[in-house]
Amino acid sequence: MTFDAGSARTFRLLVTGGGTGGHTYPALTTLRTIAAKVAASGGALEVLWVGDRDGLEARVCAEEGIRFEAVAVGKIRRSSNPLKLASPTNVRDMARVPLGVAQARRIIAAYAPDVVLSTGGYVAIPVGLASRAARRPLVVHEQTVRLGLANKVLAKVATTVAVSSESTLPLLPEAARSHAVVTGNPVRPDVLIGRPGKAVEALGWHGHDRRLPTVYVTGGAQGSQQINTLVAEILPWLLERSNVVHQCGRDHVETLRQGAARLPAAAAGHYFLAGYMGAELPDVLALADVVVSRSGAGTVAELTALGRAAVFIPLASSAGGEQAHNARHLADAGAATALLGEVSAADLRTALAPLLADPVRRAEMAARARQQGRPDAAERLADVVMAAAHGAV
């Protein structure tokens, strides 16, 4: 979409959503894309992010120099038991929602945004409801296959519901399906431009063997005790068949390093252990033939946009079981292997063995993953948001 600088010199965007990186970073990527589009058309973008003062979004806004205002947030603690949903803690927190709505209405009235983008999380409910009460266009974006609790509420009042997968469309409330679009889940642009050779150089990985496939293991920035333990149990077997880059979390480095010290010298050279991956991550992802990881929405979006064969070990405690659902969805499409429930080292070995032994099988899974990915998701969502601002949806 082209921004009409002549009709509005400043495009006023209000963003809400956060609590976790899964809600925060797609919004950040999208607003950067909108800023580029507006600037290319001769305009300027003004952004206000409304969130939880204790949420990740507050810290990200401070780091990025984005104007931020906080509202009261009511969190629902999920339970399969309906009686527990009415717990005193839930009742007390939900009583904060009307206060959050009132605060959000005052913020919206003062800021007068052209459009509101909501990416989910508990803070999105009061801001989303307030935006509709103020008759401001509201675009709701869902990162996972199934709607989160906040987006279930807001989908019914949104101007547009943007989803990451075609499979989400039949799961929407019937009233929302007529104004739903599939955009995909925005991923950071730098993730898509990594170079395999640069990874080996950046890591100083002298033992990397080009004749072997490379496995990237990650449990997220903090690492995963479960994934670390499973990999450690099969590491000698794994290193006979592959190179392994293991991002384990800073708190787990020393324990895993002690275990790796007992490896034969030849095998140890194929193993690179790191607590955290920073600027080198895009290159590591480009180098990887197979990824072993959790299956959060951001991870799934990145790996499918890149087209990577993956073995997913979902976080069992993820909200609403969303990680298991994400993993199962891709496994059903032949785009990944999902290890659900109680996972043993033998299960992980069984899942990896055919992928490491057969390049054709790896390539087929990677191709199916790429079919599920949308590397242009940020562009698509930016266009939807700008169209909603101008009443074109």
47 lies in the same domain as 122:
yes
236 lies in the same domain as 322:
yes
The pLDDT assigned to 364 comes to 98
The pLDDT assigned to 221 comes to 85
Which residue segment(s) compose the domain that 136 sits in?
10-187+376-389
Q: What is the DSSP string of 345-375?
A: HHHHHHHHHHHHH-HHHHHHHHHHHHHH--T
The pLDDT assigned to 56 comes to 93
The pLDDT assigned to 3 comes to 44
116 lies in the same domain as 58:
yes
Count: domains in the chain: 2
**Which CATH number is 193's domain given?**
3.40.50.2000
Residues 336/330, Cβ–Cβ less than 8 Å: yes
User: Which segments in the chain show pLDDT lower than 50?
Assistant: 1-7, 77, 79, 85
What are the tens digits of pLDDT across the range 35-87?
999 999 999 999 999 999 999 999 999 999 999 999 998 665 454 555 554 55
154 lies in the same domain as 293:
no
Strand stretches in 176-226, DSSP E: 180-182, 214-218
241 lies in the same domain as 353:
yes
Query: What's the CA gap between 189 and 198, in Å, rounded?
Result: 17
Query: Residue 290 domain-assigned?
Result: yes
Query: Residue 264 domain-assigned?
Result: yes
309 lies in the same domain as 165:
no
Place of tokens 């055919």: 354
Query: What's the CA gap between 81 and 73, in Å, rounded?
Result: 23
Query: Residue 59 domain-assigned?
Result: yes
158 lies in the same domain as 240:
no
Query: Residue 5 domain-assigned?
Result: no
Residues 291/310, Cβ–Cβ less than 8 Å: yes
Give the residue among 31, 27, 129, 119 at the shortest CA–CA distance from 72: 129
182 lies in the same domain as 209:
no
Query: Residue 352 domain-assigned?
Result: yes
The pLDDT assigned to 79 comes to 47
362 lies in the same domain as 380:
no
269 lies in the same domain as 329:
yes
Query: Residue 300 domain-assigned?
Result: yes
Query: What's the CA gap between 177 and 175, in Å, rounded?
Result: 6
This prediction has a pTM of 0.86
165 lies in the same domain as 233:
no
39 lies in the same domain as 72:
yes
